């Protein structure tokens, strides 16, 4: 199939690109490189051993996006492009709504104009907000707590309305828990801009000596060691979930929502220990107050994806730590776009 990937140079998109190419699909990447590097595309081609088309286009640039659809037959879209920093979204909500929601609106209009009605959308467990329904299943009501989360939820609502107006669409909404890890080659991985917001990239930078110590945000949560618990999922498991979603789309029209997680929770200190063992380096840390907006525990109930997509995460936190470490060690400055 011909699959158009928005955000195909980004963290998740680049890994998806590799597995799609390896599965025999043709890929067209659309990315504006606002939070990614063209170097990722070079690396993907090296891993997959197969060239693919790519364009520097912002989704809200309608003429440029139309030109891509005119140049290539497209069977399905995987929509990864989007801003994702929670703190920044609180400071610049309109930027997030414009980039994420407006960009998606133009994408969907363009798809409809070209008769493309297959989409896999990257949503997030963040749409559940501060729920006490843990592990969280897809029937848990959405209650996002920040503009980033609300932009994801708005897109889900938009897709739902579009499906109601035209049930010939094939839509899969994938709610990611905490993606970490990297391709086992160590050639592609997560390349955060500036100081990492997320735990695992921060730990990796401490391990490689770029940062002195980890800030552990709170050890007074009602959890086994007092630190926050999350459902970390290896990015390769995650993108394999997208391949499974693509098969589901082919089975017929529909609007389906799936959690992609392992169902297992790991605390901050457990992740630190796993990383120390994978890297054979000490990760110094200090306990700080809780980070505003954090919840104690977030884990997925991934039963629906297991049942309907015949997909299950296979990699554990040791695999996640080992592969993150390999990427970090081989690329201490990521793709080098931070100077
Ligand atoms: C965060 C976002 C979430 C987003 C996800 C993307 C917030 C509040 N939530 O989720 O909306 O979808 O990233 O991957 O930003 N921690 C530390 N020290 C650090 C960083 C994190 O102790 O330097 C702790 C946190 O308190 C938390 C755990 O590590 O308990 C995981 O944090 P993080 O990786 O930022 O993910 P989330 O907060 O789950």
The ligand 1 atom nearest the CA atom of 221:
30
Classify residue 338 as left (phi > 0), alpha (psi -120 to 50) or beta.
alpha
Does residue 21's CB lie within 6 angstroms of at least one atom of ligand 1? no
Nearest CA to ligand 1 atom 21: 199
Nearest protein CA to atom 31 of ligand 1, as residue: 199
Q: What is the whole-number distance in angstroms between the Cα of residue 108 and the centre of ligand 1?
A: 30
- Residue 338: per-residue pLDDT: 66
3-state SS, residue 242: helix
The atom number, within ligand 1, closest to the CA of 293 reads: 8
d(CA 200, CA 3): 30
- Give me the pLDDT at residue 29, please: 98
pLDDT of residue 20: 98
What is the structure's pLDDT at 65?
98
Catalytic residue among 97, 128, 148, 335: 148
**What's residue 37's pLDDT?**
97
- The reported pLDDT for the residue numbered 215 is 98
Compute the radius of gyration of the chain from its Cα atoms: 19
Nearest protein CA to atom 19 of ligand 1, as residue: 199
* Cβ-proximal residues to 115 (8 Å cutoff; 6+ apart), any chain: none
How much is the pLDDT for 312? 98
| Known catalytic residue at 96 | no
Ligand 1 nearest-atom number relative to CA 202: 23
In angstroms, rounded to a whole number, what is the distance separating the alpha carbons of residues 135 and 112? 36
Q: Is the CB of 228 under 6 A from ligand 1?
A: yes
What structural domains and CATH numbers belong to the chain?
2-182+232-262+301-313 (3.40.50.720)
**What pLDDT is recorded for position 337?**
78
In a mutational test of the pocket of ligand 1, which residue from 153, 201, 286, 291 has the highest number of ligand atoms less than 8 Å from its CB? 291
List of the chain residues with pLDDT < 50: 339
Of 150, 181, 198, the residue with max ligand 1 atoms within 8 A of its CB, to mutate for a pocket test, comes to 198
Nearest to 295 by CA among 211, 206, 209, 178: 178
- pLDDT tens per residue, range 29-55: 999 999 999 999 999 999 999 999 999
Q: What is the pLDDT of residue 108?
A: 98
The residue whose CA is least distant from atom 26 of ligand 1 is 217
Interatomic CA distance for residues 121 and 262, integer angstroms = 19
């Amino acid at each position: 199939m011909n699959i158009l990937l928005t955000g195909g140079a980004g963290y998740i998109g680049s890994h998806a690109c590799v597995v799609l190419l390896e599965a025999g699909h043709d890929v067209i990447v659309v990315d504006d490189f606002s939070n990614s590097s063209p170097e990722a595309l070079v690396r993907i081609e090296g891993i997959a051993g197969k060239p693919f088309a790519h364009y520097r286009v912002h989704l809200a640039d309608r003429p440029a996006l139309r030109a891509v659809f005119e140049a290539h037959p497209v069977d399905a879209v995987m929509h990864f492009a989007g801003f994702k920093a929670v703190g920044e979204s609180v400071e610049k909500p309109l930027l997030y709504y414009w980039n994420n929601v407006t960009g998606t609106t133009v994408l969907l209009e363009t798809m409809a104009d070209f008769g493309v009605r297959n989409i896999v959308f990257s949503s997030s467990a963040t749409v559940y907000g501060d729920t006490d329904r843990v592990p969280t299943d897809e029937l848990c009501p959405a209650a996002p707590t920040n503009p980033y989360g609300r932009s994801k939820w708005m897109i889900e609502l938009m897709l739902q309305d579009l499906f109601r107006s035209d049930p010939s669409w094939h839509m899969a909404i994938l709610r990611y828990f905490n993606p970490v890890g990297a391709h086992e080659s160590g050639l592609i991985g997560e390349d955060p801009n500036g100081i990492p917001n997320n735990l695992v990239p921060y730990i990796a930078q401490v391990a490689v000596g770029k940062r002195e110590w980890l800030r552990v945000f709170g050890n007074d949560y009602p959890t086994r060691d007092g630190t926050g618990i999350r459902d970390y999922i290896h990015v390769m498991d995650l993108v394999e979930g997208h391949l499974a979603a693509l098969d589901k789309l082919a089975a017929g029209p529909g609007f389906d929502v799936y959690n992609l997680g392992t169902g297992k929770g790991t605390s901050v200190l457990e992740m630190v220990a796993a990383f120390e063992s994978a890297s054979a380096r000490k990760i110094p840390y200090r306990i700080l107050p809780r980070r505003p907006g954090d919840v104690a525990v977030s884990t997925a109930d991934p039963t629906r994806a297991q049942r309907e997509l015949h997909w299950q995460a296979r990699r554990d936190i040791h695999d996640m730590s080992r592969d993150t470490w390999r990427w970090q060690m081989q690329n201490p400055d990521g793709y080098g776009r931070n100077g």
